[in-house]
Amino acid sequence: MTGVRIHLPAALRDLVPGTGFVVVDAASVPEALEALVERYPDLGRMLFSDPGVLRPHVNVFVESGETGARADEGPLGEGDEIRIVPSIAGG
Amino acid sequence: MSRVMMEKRATPELSGDEIRRYGRHLSIPEVGPDGQRRLKASSALLIGAGGLGSPAALYMAAAGVGRIGIVDHDSVDLSNLQRQILHDTAAVGRSKLESARSRLAGVNPHVEVETFETRLESANALEIMGGWDIVVDGSDNFPTRYLVNDACVLLGIPFVYGAILRFEGQASVFATSEGPCYRCLFREPPPPGLVPSCAEAGVLGVLPGIVGTIQATEAIKWLLGTGETLAGRLLLIDALRMEFRSLNISRDPECTVCGEHATLTELIDYERFCGHEPAAAPEAETDVDHPEIDVEELKRRIDANEPFQLIDVREDYEWDICNLESVGARLVPLQSLPNAVDDLDRETPIIIHCRSGPRGTNAVAYLRTMGFDNVVNVAGGILAWAEAYDPDMQVY
């Protein structure tokens, strides 16, 4: 277990006090999201349509250094960060 | 049109005036006289002349994109001017397209501007969008975004995506021959009301300036056939931290419109796809098939002392500007609605209102999914009420 930073988009920041990210102890993306929702239950409805099932307009990326790619369920690497990216429509 | 076909297209000569005008382009190796002629021969269609469309249109016109189309059906509102730099104070109340046309003609008279004063819909999208070299999506709602994506995939035209909220933006290039489309990234829209719009959550005025100019940059690069576009990458812009992140995205083999076994082969009803109810007639009565009432009906019910719960789903600061507390309204901001569901009386009709209507529509859709059958939205929101019954009310 290690501290993982989860970056939240503007659309979710009203539900979480602070500066737009949360640090949780987790070894994988599913663990990290579970810990996030446990700490901030209001986020659960925003992120998941059913327990463990991400809503189809929500993407989760893992950033390793300068590159980022869609998250899978595998273990997180040292220094990896998670970024939640929902669709927004403003123009 | 594919890049290969564009490259085979005959390019027009530049006039003496154009050579002087585009001098700073002509000295860039990646543009040069050939590239500038190619821009002159090219075309781009902008969806929306709003926050994103404004800078995109201005820079593409200034750059000499030969033919620029714009689709919009709105008129200029005072609240647009904080970010929509195509329009000025004198244009308030005028058609956005009239305003855009005169502004772009002033920026560059060598550019041909074609306007489509209509709402982009499934019935007209293929006709309007067909034949352009690239599309720039500056729309402001999910139904239009999915419509633009699907039409571009079906027509084989790439589009430059941009979206904004508060201090954050997203940009990419979708629907190229190899890259992903919008649906590959966002398979389905969020349920109504779950993701706030700029009207609800706000947007920093300069943000569409950043994102719209990125869109113009990508469109111009595509038209020139130079550089690496954002196809296959999603650019995230965080103006609050002034951070730019590029995330790799790829085509979804199971995508319903561009995947290996695509099932979506024609345009659909995007309002329904996005969970929005079709608009009801103004004289509609309250029942489950007609989720809207007009302000006259609201007034009638107030005057008749009919029982109802009047819920204002705007934000606190909007309530402070104006409200309907005197006729029993109660504030429950849209994002707080899920937490207030248990406090609502399921036996008493619920009437929702917001500023002008859209948030109320989302609130009605949400409450209906939560089992509330007798819930309606006030068409036109508090603005319509003020116009009809309270002309001294401070509106915004």
Over residues B96-128, the pLDDT tens digits come to 999 999 999 999 999 999 999 999 999 999 999
Average pLDDT of span B343-365: 90
Low-confidence stretches of chain A (pLDDT beneath 50): none
pLDDT of res. B287? 41
What local confidence, expressed as pLDDT, does residue B3 receive? 67
Q: Which residues of A touch B48 (CB under 8 A)?
A: 91
Across B7-21, B29-43, B113-127, B155-169, least confident range? B7-21
Name the DSSP letter for residue B189: P
Query: Shortest Cα distance from A13 to chain B (angstroms)?
Result: 11
The mean pLDDT value for B198-211 works out to: 91
ipTM (interface pTM): 0.94
**Is B281's pLDDT higher than 50?**
no
The residue in chain B having the minimum alpha-carbon distance to the alpha carbon of residue A43 is B194
- Do B224 and B30 touch, CB atoms closer than 8 A? yes
B 136-195 residues with CB < 8 A to A: 137-142, 145, 162-168, 170, 185-191, 194-195
Closest Cα partner for B138 from B95, B170, B106, B178?
B170
Q: Looking at beta carbons, which residues of chain B come within 8 Å of A68?
A: 245-248
CA distance B182 to chain A (A): 10
Rounded CA-CA distance B311/B313 in Å is: 6
Q: Which of A14-18, B186-190, B252-256, B341-345 has the lowest mean pLDDT?
A: A14-18
Q: For residue A91, give the nearest of B140, B186, B201 by CB distance.
A: B140
- CA B314 from centre of chain: 20
To which H or E segment does residue A54 belong? strand A53-54
Decide if pLDDT at B190 tops 80: yes
Of the listed ranges A7-21, B215-229, B240-254, B346-360, the one predicted with least confidence? A7-21
Give contacts of B198 with chain A, Cβ < 8 Å. Answer: 90-91
Looking at residue B196, its pLDDT comes to 77
Query: Strand B67-72 relative to strand B43-47: parallel, antiparallel, unpaired?
Result: parallel
Contacts B203 to A, Cβ<8 Å = 90
Contact B187 A89 (CB under 8 A): no
Chain B residues with CB under 8 Å of A55 CB are 190-191, 194
What confidence score (pLDDT) does residue B4 get?
A: 65
Average pLDDT over residues B191-212: 88
- Least confident interval from A8-12, B82-86, B328-332: A8-12
Per-residue pLDDT, B309? 97
What residues have CB less than 8 Å from B209, skipping those under 6 apart? Answer: B55, B83, B85
Per the CB < 8 Å rule, is A88 touching B188? Answer: no
What pLDDT does B301 receive? 96
pLDDT on residue A6: 96
Q: Mark yes or no for CB contact B190/A20 under 8 Å.
A: no
> In terms of Cα–Cα distance, which of A35, A33, A23, A80 is closest to A59?
A33
> What average pLDDT does this structure show over B213-229?
98
Position of tokens 């990458």?
B233
Nearest Cα residue to B42 out of B4, B19, B14, B9:
B9
Mean pLDDT of B205-211: 98
- B237 pLDDT band, cuts 50/70/90, is very high
Distance from CA of A18 to the nearest CA of B (A): 13
Q: Percentage of chain B with pLDDT > 90?
A: 83
Of the partner residues A11, A70, A83, the one whose CB lies closest to the CB of residue B195: A11
Q: pLDDT grade, residue B197 (50/70/90)?
A: confident
Q: For chain B, say whether A83 makes contact (Cβ under 8 Å).
A: yes
Which residues of chain B have a CB within 8 Å of the CB of A10? 165-168, 201
Distance from the Cα of A2 to chain B's closest Cα (Å) equals: 23
* Residue B191, pLDDT score: 87
Select from A9, A85, A89 the Cβ nearest to the Cβ of B140: A89
Q: Which of B136, B139, B168 is the mutation pick for testing A, counting most A CBs within 10 A?
A: B168
- State the average pLDDT over residues B270-290: 58
B208/A57 touch (CB, cutoff 8 Å), yes or no? no
Whether residue A57 and residue B170 make contact (CB cut-off 8 A), yes or no, is no
Res B205: pLDDT: 97
**B75 has a pLDDT exceeding 50:** yes
Q: What integer pLDDT is reported at residue A85 of this predicted model?
A: 96
Among candidates A10, A45, A56 on the partner chain, residue whose Cβ is nearest the Cβ of B165: A10
**pLDDT at residue B1, rounded to an integer:** 61
Q: Does A91 touch chain B (CB under 8 A)?
A: yes
B360 or B186: which leads in pLDDT: B186
The DSSP result for B106-165, as a single string, is HH-TTSEEEEEES---HHHHHHHHTT-SEEEE---SHHHHHHHHHHHHHHT--EEEEEEE
The residue in chain B having the minimum alpha-carbon distance to the alpha carbon of residue A69 is: B248
pLDDT at position B283 is 37
Q: Does A65 touch chain B (CB under 8 A)?
A: no
B360 or B60, which is more confident? B60
pLDDT at B276 over 80: no
Nearest to A86 by CA among A54, A44, A38, A62: A54
pLDDT for residue A20: 87
Neighbours of B47 (CB within 10 A): 30
* Residues of B designated as active site: 198, 354
